């Protein structure tokens, strides 16, 4: 049912024309060379092409391309070519017009961008894994040829997220999931900070609506108090900036709802215990680039004079910018009421790059091509990955994600060359980053005259020498030591070749063995062998045979031939990638029960009190009533539950959106097991107080208890039986009331 107001055709046309006028005015206010004629032509063409078509919300479809064009000019700062592409981005996909039509009217550049956007339409994911990988590859390939393709796509995704409320719940999960999985990290890597933050917050709003509302409500309730604290904090600094003749502005910035939620989840603390919600940004005008860094440090001293500075939270991004071009000086100082406040010091130029990213200020705006631009370096790493793409879609997406998340370290070669790597990178990652041959023959590293193994994790500032040996060859366990996309990609390719040769030798041994026994190879025999050894594929069996890890005999083969077990035949129908667990959890079969298809367009009500429940759990997470969960419909129409925040759920939302169903808890059942972590000051009788509070006061069934004390502190892991998150909250609250208990939180 559409919630869009009813308008007359004349009123609707006026709304469309007014929306277009806003785009045009924004363009005329920009510093771009004014090409109004082609923009007008693109709008009129798109308006006619989409005439009579409406979005799911009920509004005329043309309002979507107009909104995308507005984001392109006002939030990304792009010019006429990108604005035209935004107006036309769905024309080839949704109408009878072709790429050739667009090229004939608007030229090759605009046609190329529209074609690039058409290739990756409908999100970057289809229902089939191979399509996902191919579409994502197309997105990245188009980015390496014309960055404007991905920037217009980012604007398209942002508007889709802003209007996601009109979609069905399971579609909201899918779109929010792929936004968090790919688009937000991509925006981060391109330096589009504001867009990245909004995408994360919008995805969070639809994945965890209740938690989002709670956090926003608390932020609103504490807003005036926050402003008082920040103003008190910056008052002495303002005086110093004025005295030194700075032209500046100071902005108070609050941590995003998604960031607050992540910190609450990771640290298992309530909103009130998040101490770095406060942040201040000082932006100063600067006419001389040579003085930019000096002025940052001068302002830094204004803060250190009157405040206590956190010694471990100084970040100098002025000397070594982040990979997305971000430059600033960060410090954290103690403010009023014992609140830590993060301070970001930037010049106006730094601020523009931080907010809009290098992408928007690349060659299309200046006409200057800079071979050393950070964006070019990143695009080159993408090309490197694309040169040897993963055959498996989910592996491919994971490999790309390693490069999208850019928390980085900087290390040096023995000659002093700087190498930038993701945080957590090892000696092996560095070896592959320098050269593939170095990675293949790497046996160890040397840091500060100290030998370290391949798996050693590097820190910023390390000077690393790679030790090699001609006799060294890559091993499968090396995959555990690789944290960069390049190292994983190269290593997989090398191991795949070795694996293929080994499997070939094993297959020959198997066929020779059957020939000697006078037996014909068949799928039936192979299925029984795989079931017997619990192996996923014949290649695994062949490899184990070649490695002498399996011995087969004629008697064993004949026994397997007689066994009618259908277990493996079921398993072999599983269409999913083996790169992550999607095993069907065990559930007793009910005689005579025939599963009816799950209606994925309606909210699926969960009944934990059913016998059996109308859902299953996977092994990766343990949701209980009250947790935000999504349902995944497997081959047998069973609904498998995952917490929305579970890493496997993230992949499912991205890769298998058509199999998702929105869920809602329809009851409780006192049969869920959770673990609660308790910490505090050790004293005589503390354990008795804990058990009495749980057993006598709350009537909780304790299923396990492990307590340890060291010096003056104790730590206790409690396993309890409960019915919902609300009960767990009550348990934690009551435990905190016990004298000397300082922390009580759910950990599983």
Place of tokens 């667009």: 102
For residue 743 the two structure tokens come to 């922390």
CA distance 466 to 480: 19
β-strand 340-347 against 408-412: which pairing, if any?
A: unpaired
Torsion of CA 38, 44, 48, 50, to 10 degrees: 80
Q: How many CB atoms lie within 10 A of CB 34?
A: 12
Set 40, 94, 276, 392: catalytic member: 94
Residue 689's region, left for phi above 0, alpha for psi from -120 to 50, else beta, is: alpha
Question: Which residues is 420 bridged to in the sheet?
Answer: 410
* 193 vs 188: CA distance, rounded Å: 6
- Cβ atoms within 10 Å, residue 449: 6
Non-local CB neighbours of 29 within 8 Å, separated by 6+ positions? none
Neighbours of 294 (CB within 10 A): 11
In this structure, the dihedral spanned by the alpha carbons of residues 218, 220, 224 and 228, taken in order and rounded to 10 degrees, is 60
The Cα 78–Cα 89 span in angstroms is 15
- Whether the upstream peptide bond of residue 649 has omega within 30° of 0, thus cis, is no
Distance CA 395, CA 578 (A): 10
Q: Is residue 381 a contact partner of residue 408, using CB atoms and an 8 Å limit?
A: no
Residue 619, H or E segment:
none
The answer to whether the CB of 75 falls within 8 A of the CB of 194 is yes
Q: Is the dihedral angle over the CA atoms 563, 565, 566, 571 positive or is it negative? A: negative
Residue 261 tokens read as: 């939620």
Residues constituting the chain? 748
* Residue 324 exposure: Cα atoms within 13 Å on the Cβ side: 26
Matching residue, tokens 């997470």: 621
Residues 151 and 135: their CA atoms lie apart, in Å, by 16
> How open is the CA angle 376-382-385, to the nearest 5 degrees?
145
Look up residue 636 and give its two tokens: 């047998």
Instruction: Give alpha helix (H) positions in 633-743.
Output: 647-655, 686-692, 725-737
H-type alpha helices, 329-481: 348-356, 363-366, 374-387, 393-404, 427-434, 436-440
Token readout for 356 is: 């809009």
Question: Are the C-beta atoms of 735 and 744 separated by less than 8 Å?
Answer: yes
Known active-site residue 272:
no
**Spatial distance between the Cα atoms of 485 and 398, rounded to a whole number of angstroms:** 9
Rounded to an integer, what distance in angstroms lies between the CA atom of residue 569 and that of residue 255? 51
Rounded-to-integer distance, Cα 732 and Cα 674, Å: 12
What's the rounded Cα separation, in Å, for the pair 42 and 19? 15
Contact between 159 and 71 (Cβ < 8 Å): yes
Q: Are 629 and 604 in contact (CB under 8 A)?
A: no
Annotated catalytic residue: which of 93, 228, 242, 273? Answer: 93
* 40 in active site: no
Q: Which of 437, 445, 509, 447 is nearest to 473 (CA)?
A: 437
| Inter-axis angle of helices 80-88 and 108-119, nearest 10 | 50
Task: Supply φ then ψ for residue 609, to 5 degrees.
Answer: -85, 0
- Could you give the residue numbers annotated as active site? 93-94
């Amino acid at each position: 049912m559409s919630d869009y107001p009813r308008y007359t055709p004349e009123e609707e046309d006026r709304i469309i024309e007014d929306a277009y006028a806003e785009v045009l005015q924004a363009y005329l206010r920009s510093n771009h060379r004014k090409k109004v004629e082609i923009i007008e032509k693109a709008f009129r063409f798109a308006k006619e092409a989409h005439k009579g078509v409406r979005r799911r919300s009920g509004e005329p479809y043309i309002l979507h391309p107009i909104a995308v064009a507005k984001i392109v000019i006002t939030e990304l700062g792009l010019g006429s070519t990108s604005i035209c592409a935004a107006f036309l981005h769905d024309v080839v996909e949704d109408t009878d017009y072709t790429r050739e039509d667009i090229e004939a009217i608007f030229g090759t550049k605009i046609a190329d961008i529209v074609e690039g956007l058409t290739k990756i339409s409908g999100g970057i994911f289809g229902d089939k894994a191979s399509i996902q990988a191919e579409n994502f590859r197309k997105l990245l390939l188009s980015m390496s040829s014309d960055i404007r393709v991905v920037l217009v796509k980012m604007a398209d995704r942002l508007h889709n997220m802003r209007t996601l409320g009109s979609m069905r719940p399971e579609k909201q999960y899918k779109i929010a999931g792929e936004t968090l999985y790919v688009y937000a990290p991509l925006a981060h890597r391109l330096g589009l900070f504001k867009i990245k933050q909004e995408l994360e917050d919008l995805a969070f709003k639809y994945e965890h609506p209740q938690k989002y509302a709670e956090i926003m409500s608390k932020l609103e309730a504490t807003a005036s108090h926050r402003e008082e604290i920040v103003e008190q904090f910056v008052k002495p600094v303002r005086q110093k900036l004025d005295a030194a003749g700075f032209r500046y502005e100071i902005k108070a910035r609050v941590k995003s709802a998604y960031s607050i939620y992540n910190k609450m989840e990771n640290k298992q603390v309530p909103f009130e215990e998040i101490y770095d919600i406060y942040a201040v940004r000082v932006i100063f005008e600067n006419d001389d680039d040579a003085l930019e860094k000096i002025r940052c440090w001068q302002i830094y001293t204004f803060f250190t004079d009157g405040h206590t500075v956190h010694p471990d939270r100084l970040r100098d991004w002025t000397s070594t910018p982040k990979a997305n071009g971000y430059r600033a000086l960060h410090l954290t100082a103690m403010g009023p009421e014992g609140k830590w406040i993060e301070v970001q010091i930037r010049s106006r130029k730094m601020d523009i790059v931080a907010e809009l990213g290098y992408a928007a200020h690349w060659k299309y705006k200046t006409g200057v091509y800079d071979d050393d631009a950070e964006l070019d370096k990143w695009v080159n790493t993408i090309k490197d990955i694309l040169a040897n793409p993963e055959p498996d879609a989910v592996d491919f997406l994971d490999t790309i994600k390693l490069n999208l998340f850019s928390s980085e370290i900087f290390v040096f070669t023995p000659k002093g060359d700087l190498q930038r790597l993701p945080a957590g990178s090892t000696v092996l990652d560095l070896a592959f980053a320098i050269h593939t041959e170095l990675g293949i023959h790497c046996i160890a590293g040397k840091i500060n005259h100290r030998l370290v193994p391949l798996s050693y994790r590097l820190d910023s500032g390390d000077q690393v020498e790679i030790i090699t040996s001609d006799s060294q060859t890559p091993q499968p366990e090396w995959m555990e030591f690789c944290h960069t996309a390049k190292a994983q990609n190269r290593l997989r390719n090398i191991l795949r070749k070795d694996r293929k040769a080994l499997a070939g030798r094993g297959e020959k041994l198997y066929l020779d063995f059957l020939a000697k026994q006078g037996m014909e190879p068949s799928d039936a025999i192979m299925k029984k062998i795989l079931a017997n050894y619990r192996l996923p594929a014949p290649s695994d069996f062949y490899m184990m045979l070649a490695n002498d890890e399996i011995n087969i005999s004629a008697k064993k083969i004949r026994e397997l031939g007689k066994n009618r077990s259908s277990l493996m035949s079921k398993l072999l129908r599983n269409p999913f990638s083996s790169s992550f667990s999607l095993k069907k959890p065990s559930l007793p079969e009910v005689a005579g029960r025939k599963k009816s298809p799950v209606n994925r367009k309606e909210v699926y009500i969960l009944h934990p009190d059913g016998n059996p429940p109308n859902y299953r759990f996977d092994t990766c997470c343990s949701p209980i009533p009250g947790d935000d969960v999504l349902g995944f419909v497997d081959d047998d129409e069973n609904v498998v539950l995952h917490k929305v925040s579970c890493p496997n759920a993230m992949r499912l939302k991205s890769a298998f959106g058509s199999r998702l169903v929105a869920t809602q808890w329809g009851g409780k059942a006192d049969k869920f097991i959770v673990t609660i972590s308790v910490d505090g000051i050790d004293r005589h009788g503390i354990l008795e107080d804990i058990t009495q509070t749980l057993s006598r006061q709350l009537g909780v069934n304790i299923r396990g208890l492990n307590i340890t004390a060291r010096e003056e502190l104790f730590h206790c892991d409690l396993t309890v039986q409960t019915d919902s998150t609300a009960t767990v909250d009550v348990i934690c609250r009551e435990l905190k009331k016990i004298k000397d208990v300082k922390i009580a939180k759910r950990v599983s």
